[in-house]
Amino acid sequence: MDIEKYIVDKKNIIDKTLDKYLPKSSLKPQVIHRAMRYSVFPGGKRIRPIFTIAGFEACGGKGDSAMPVACGIELIHSYTLIHDDLPCMDNDDFRRGKQACHKKFGEDIALLAGDGLLTLAFQVIAESGNIDIIKEISKAIGTCGVIGGQVADIMAQSSRFKVQRKHIEYINLNKTAVLFEVAAKSGGIIKDASKKEINALGNFGRNIGVTFQLLDDLKDKDGYVNLYGEKRTKEKAEKLASAAKNHLKIFGKKANRLLELANLICA
């Protein structure tokens, strides 16, 4: 099975599972549930939850025991996108070719829809029965992780401090890469993998997450590109991608899906 078919197959399974977890649009209060579903579906390629599944498989995992955590990761990602788009944040009117949640349902409902997805995520993740997963994900998306990255991004945009290399790298690491890191790492934790394997998955996810952001900066001519130019940004992305792949060597062929995902991101 090639990587594109693998992604499509896993996305279909994830979407069906997410549909079961999300409250029906007809359930009171209907508007919040419509907003939550609107923001989750149709969604992108579901790369982050697929990282969780592929990480689980790299550690020898089989079956669907990683699915609650994978879906929880996607619910968290969807919540961050809703909040990122709000006028008080990045102020984007569109997301994935359609109106952002706050443009469709209003800022108040969008804010609560994000809160609802985050809360549901932990309900879903708790089904794994693994407290270590909950600890890792809570840390990754808290004020020393994703929220911290968003705060730094807001500060940079409002010129409350001079944007320097350390600030850009902090934003890239925490706003973007940390979620990739914990997604991959969670697959190993669910499989009860060794500390060495879990760390390797985390290092892979973090490096490929920063690579993802740098490539996005190159596309948008923003962020790191503004400070260092396209050539240096491209070189850094290539170096990080190579480092990410090196972390997978301890898994041998079992990490082929993660390697193919990395190659797809870097293509």
Give yes or no for a contact between 178 and 146, defined as CB atoms under 8 angstroms apart: yes
At residue 168, the pLDDT reads 87
Three-state SS annotation for the chain: CCHHHHHHHHHHHHHHHHHHHCCCCCCCCHHHHHHHHHHHCCCCCCHHHHHHHHHHHHCCCCCCCCHHHHHHHHHHHHHHHHHHHCCCCCCCCEECCEECHHHHHCHHHHHHHHHHHHHHHHHHHHHHCCHHHHHHHHHHHCCCCHHHHHHHHHHHHCCCCCCCHHHHHHHHHHHHHHHHHHHHHHHHHHCCCCHHHHHHHHHHHHHHHHHHHHHHHHHHCCCHHHHHHHHHHHHHHHHHHHHHHHCCHHHHHHHHHHHHHHHHHHC
At residue 162, the pLDDT reads 59
CATH ID of 3-266, from 3.40.50.300, 1.10.600.10, 2.10.260.10, 3.90.180.10? 1.10.600.10
Phi-psi map region of 63: left, alpha, beta (phi>0 left; psi -120 to 50 alpha): left
At residue 161, the pLDDT reads 52
At residue 165, the pLDDT reads 73
Average confidence (pLDDT) per 10 residues, the chain, 267 residues: 93 98 98 98 95 98 96 98 95 95 98 98 96 97 96 79 74 95 98 98 98 95 89 96 98 97 93
At residue 226, the pLDDT reads 86
Distance CA(67)–CA(13), nearest Å, equals 9
- Closest by CA to 53, choosing from 67, 35, 37, 36, is 67
Tokens in use for 158? 């409002």
pTM score:
0.95
Distance CA(18)–CA(116), nearest Å, equals 14
